[in-house]
Structures are given as structure tokens and as C-alpha cells.
């Protein structure tokens, strides 16, 4: 077995600092990552999956209802939880990861939105993502889902992908077959020269596209973006029907 087949990240960045406004009224008194799906919080679904994939450390950023989220995740034994404190200023995705870099370490790491869940197809999608990763040719690799069959997504798609997995953005007034699931691997070199303060990861991904170093693989299974109360109800229906099957 080659080294690329056995590699897995030591750390994951779990993005938990958002305001969760689209999930109101469920987020009136709790952060969105603590909304429950099938009896477990969204962030526990994510952290369970990360731990099962052999990732030992998770950095969680906190902002809205930060004390509640920090207390909740600190109860876990696996993975090890570290907190990146954004109580004073919400830093958006890119700024949040940049602030957390000292906790994430110097090796490539996983980035995982706290509202991204899925029903697995054959095997583990995170294992497939880890196996596909090649730091020599990639700055980032994304887990992508079919825009046509994903729950909670009604846009025109995000990316097109060539036969090698290299990504390009959807053009204006065009449709693209794939949507970003909020799960990716990132090399720390992406953040060299990154600004301090709030900014989006899109800025760094666009630079990777320009350099031909943004790649993707297709998720095997059913992806659910649980961003609204309606999507939460539908996700529970999907999971229940899969359990019955």
C-alpha cells in the first residue's frame, strides 16, 4: 500500500462560529451546531465522523452562544477538542481558519462545516478524500456532491470537474454539476500571506484554481445541507427512510 493510501490528517477545523440566522427560531438560544438531528447535535454528527476516520484533534471556532458550544464540545473524549475563540469578532471562513492555524499545526488538515451531514454510500467518504489527497499537486481537495440530488440545496451548482478531478468555477449564467459539501483538505501553504481579520475561503480557493491546484472528488451517498428548520425536517425523513431500507 502506498503512503498516499494511508495518510490521514492529524487535525480538523470544524466551523462552528456562524450566527445561524436561517435556522431561526431553533437558534434563538443556542448556536446552530447544537441544533439536534435525530437526537444528536449537528456538531456531534460531524465530530463522530471525524473521530471514526482517525482524526485525533478538532479545532472548533466559537462566536454566537460561544459559552454553550464550548461547554458542549468539551464534554467529548474523542477527538481531542481545542477552541478557537472568536467571541470578539466573527472572522468568516478564511479568517477563522487563519486564526486557528497555530492550533491546527503545520501539516495538511481537514476543514468541515458543522451543518454538513450525509448518508454514506459504499465505504467512508472521508477515507476516500484522504486517499485522493496529493500534496505535491494539490493545495486543497474538496468533497463535492451532485447539485441535482442533494438535500437543502437549490442553486445552480458550484464547480465543474475534469477527468483528473481539477476544479473550475461555474461560469456566470451557467449550471455546474457539483456543489461543495463544506468538507475539504487544505495545505497550510494556502494561507501564506493571508490577511488578518474576516475573509472568505473563496479568496484562497480562487487562487488555487488559478494555479491549477484545487481538486475535488464526488461524494458517494446522499448529502444534506441542514441550513434551515425545513431542511432539518427533511433530513430526518431521509435518514429514517434509509434506516428502514
**pLDDT tens-place string over residues 18-42:** 899 999 999 999 999 999 999 999 9
Q: Which residue range forms the structural domain that includes residue 89? A: 9-244
Look-up: residue for cell 497550510?
Answer: 188
Q: Please check whether residue 208 lies inside any domain of the structure.
A: yes
| Residue 3 in domain | no
DSSP strand pairing (40-41 vs 178-186): unpaired
Q: Using the CB atoms, write b or e for 18-54: b if 16+ within 10 Å.
A: bebeebeeebeebbbbbbebeeebbbbbbbebbbebe
Question: What pLDDT is attached to residue 207?
Answer: 96
160 near 170, Cβ under 8 Å? yes
Residue 69, domain member (yes or no)? yes
Q: What is the CA radius of gyration of the chain?
A: 17
Pairing of β 80-85 and β 11-15 = unpaired
Can you tell me the distance from the alpha carbon of 81 to that of 67, in angstroms, rounded to the nearest whole number?
Answer: 14
CA distance 216 to 185: 10
Q: What are the cell numbers at 66?
A: 460561544
- Give the closest residue to 140 by CA, choosing from 101, 186, 79, 174: 186
Query: When comparing pLDDT for 75 and 175, which is higher?
Result: 75
Count how many domains the chain has. 1
pTM score: 0.93
| Cα–Cα distance, 156 to 178 (Å, whole number) | 9
- CATH number of the domain that 49 lies in? 3.90.550.10
Position 2 in a domain: no
Place of cell 474523542: 78
* 122 in a structural domain: yes
Q: What is the pLDDT of residues 93-150, one digit of tens each?
A: 999 999 999 999 999 999 999 999 999 988 899 999 999 999 999 999 999 999 888 8
Is 176 or 214 the better-scoring residue by pLDDT?
Answer: 214
CB 11 within 8 A of CB 82: no
CA geometry: angle 167, 198, 96, nearest 5 deg: 70
Domain for residue 1, yes or no? no
Distances (CA, A) of 87 to 63, 71, 74, 236: 4, 14, 17, 31
**Domain-embedded: residue 231:** yes
Task: Answer whether 181's CB lies under 8 Å from 115's CB.
Answer: no
Rounded Cα distance between 43 and 14, Å, is 8
In a domain, 239, yes or no: yes
Asked if 16 contacts 33 with a C-beta cutoff of 8 angstroms, the reply is yes
Decide the pairing of beta strands 159-161 and 167-169. Answer: antiparallel
Amino acid at each position: 500500500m502506498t503512503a498516499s493510501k494511508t495518510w490521514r490528517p492529524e487535525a480538523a477545523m470544524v466551523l462552528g462560529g456562524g450566527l445561524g440566522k436561517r435556522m431561526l427560531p431553533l437558534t434563538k438560544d443556542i448556536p446552530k451546531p447544537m441544533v439536534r438531528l435525530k437526537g444528536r447535535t449537528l456538531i456531534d454528527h460531524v465530530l463522530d465522523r471525524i473521530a471514526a476516520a482517525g482524526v485525533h484533534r478538532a479545532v472548533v471556532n466559537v462566536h454566537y452562544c460561544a459559552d454553550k458550544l464550548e461547554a458542549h464540545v468539551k464534554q467529548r473524549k474523542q477527538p481531542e477538542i481545542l477552541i478557537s475563540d472568536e467571541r470578539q469578532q466573527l472572522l468568516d471562513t478564511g479568517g477563522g481558519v487563519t486564526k486557528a492555524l497555530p492550533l491546527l499545526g503545520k501539516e495538511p488538515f481537514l476543514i468541515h462545516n458543522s451543518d454538513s451531514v450525509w448518508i454514506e454510500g459504499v465505504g467512508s467518504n472521508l477515507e476516500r478524500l484522504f486517499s485522493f489527497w496529493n500534496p505535491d499537486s494539490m493545495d486543497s481537495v474538496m468533497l463535492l456532491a451532485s447539485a441535482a440530488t442533494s438535500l437543502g440545496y437549490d442553486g445552480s451548482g458550484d464547480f465543474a470537474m475534469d477527468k483528473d478531478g481539477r476544479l473550475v468555477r461555474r461560469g456566470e449564467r451557467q449550471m455546474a454539476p457539483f456543489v461543495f459539501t463544506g468538507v475539504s483538505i487544505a495545505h497550510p501553504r494556502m494561507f501564506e500571506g493571508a490577511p488578518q481579520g474576516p475573509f472568505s475561503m473563496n479568496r484562497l480557493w480562487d487562487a488555487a484554481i488559478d494555479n491549477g491546484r484545487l481538486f475535488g472528488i464526488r461524494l458517494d451517498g446522499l448529502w444534506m445541507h441542514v441550513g434551515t428548520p425545513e431542511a432539518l425536517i427533511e433530513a430526518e425523513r431521509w435518514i429514517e427512510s434509509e434506516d428502514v431500507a
